[in-house]
């Protein structure tokens, strides 16, 4: 299969705490895992990605982890700010060229 | 950075009519994609296109849908005839090659009434 499951669907955190979003994929041939942030009425914007030759990647308060054995990957946002409130989508590219998206997580960061 | 332009940004159309959504991809990109997003829901893959051909399409890419990019101009998604359930935001994306990041356009909000 080519499904990407994403949890939770809604995540509420306090400003300054961390937020974690988890995704699983079905196709073991998947080799590229981007994460997108989408604000209301806007297009999705790539915030970080990881390829299958890596297990961890970090940039500007974002950490992504990839466990190929478990077919699981996750996004961790450290020190969340109200500006981090948005929809977040994980995605996976299967061996072909298309990227399949998860169902999204609505992150709400309260001051 | 380089942008994907989508025209129009909004379109309202009567059910049964034809609509064409236009996408101007990043100039040196070779792979093009259409995704459909119903409000607040996930981005669903419709089709990808390379070298003048559809490479892959999903079940959502009904017989009423077609794509083309005549002579390197706009990459278009045509829906003929439209149905009420076609109402959604349609995002175009392009990538340099099959292994690169996508660049998404800002979307066309289609309302079929």
DSSP for A61-106, written as a single string: TEEEEEETTTTEEEEEE-S--GGG-EEEEEEEE-SSS-EEE---EE
Give which of A7, A9, A98, A108 to mutate to test B binding, by max B Cβ within 10 Å.
A98
CB contact (8 A) between residue B102 and residue A34: yes
Judged by a CB distance cut-off of 8 A, whether residue B40 touches chain A is yes
Share of chain B above pLDDT 90, in %: 87
The pLDDT tens digits for B22-32 are 999 999 999 99
**Cβ-proximal residues to B42 (8 Å cutoff; 6+ apart), any chain:** A89, A101, A102, A103, A104
Helix (H) or strand (E) holding B36: strand B31-37
Question: What pLDDT, on the 0 to 100 scale, is given for residue B26?
Answer: 95
CB contact (8 A) between residue B42 and residue A101: yes
How many whole angstroms separate alpha carbon B88 and alpha carbon A78?
Answer: 33
The pLDDT tens digits for A19-58 are 999 999 998 989 999 999 999 999 999 999 999 999 999 9
The pLDDT tens digits for B87-109 are 999 999 999 988 888 999 999 99
How many whole angstroms separate alpha carbon A73 and alpha carbon A25?
Answer: 8
Per CB-CB distance under 8 Å, the chain A contacts of B95 are 97
Of B42, B48, B104, Cβ closest to residue A98: B48
Question: What pLDDT, on the 0 to 100 scale, is given for residue A96?
Answer: 66
Helix (H) or strand (E) holding B13: strand B10-13
């Amino acid at each position: 299969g080519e499904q990407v499951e994403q949890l939770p669907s809604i995540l509420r955190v306090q400003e300054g705490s961390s937020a974690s979003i988890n995704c699983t994929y079905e196709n073991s041939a998947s080799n590229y895992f981007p994460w997108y942030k989408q604000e209301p009425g806007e297009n999705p914007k790539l915030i970080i990605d990881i390829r299958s030759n890596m297990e961890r990647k970090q940039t500007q308060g974002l950490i992504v982890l990839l466990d190929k054995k478990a077919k699981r990957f996750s996004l961790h946002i450290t020190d969340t700010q109200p500006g981090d409130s948005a929809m977040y989508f994980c995605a996976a590219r299967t061996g072909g060229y298309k990227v399949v998206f998860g169902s999204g997580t609505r992150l709400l960061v309260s001051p | 950075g380089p942008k994907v332009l989508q025209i129009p940004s909004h379109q309202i159309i009567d059910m049964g009519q034809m609509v064409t959504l236009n996408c101007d991809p990043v100039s040196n990109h070779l792979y093009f994609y259409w995704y459909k997003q119903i409000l607040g829901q996930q981005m669903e893959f419709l089709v990808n296109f390379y070298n003048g051909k559809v490479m892959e399409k999903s079940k959502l890419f009904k017989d009423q849908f077609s794509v083309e990019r005549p002579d390197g101009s706009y990459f278009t998604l045509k829906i003929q005839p439209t149905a009420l359930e076609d109402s959604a935001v349609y995002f175009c994306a392009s990538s340099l090659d099959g292994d690169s990041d996508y660049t998404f356009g800002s979307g066309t909000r289609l309302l079929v009434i």
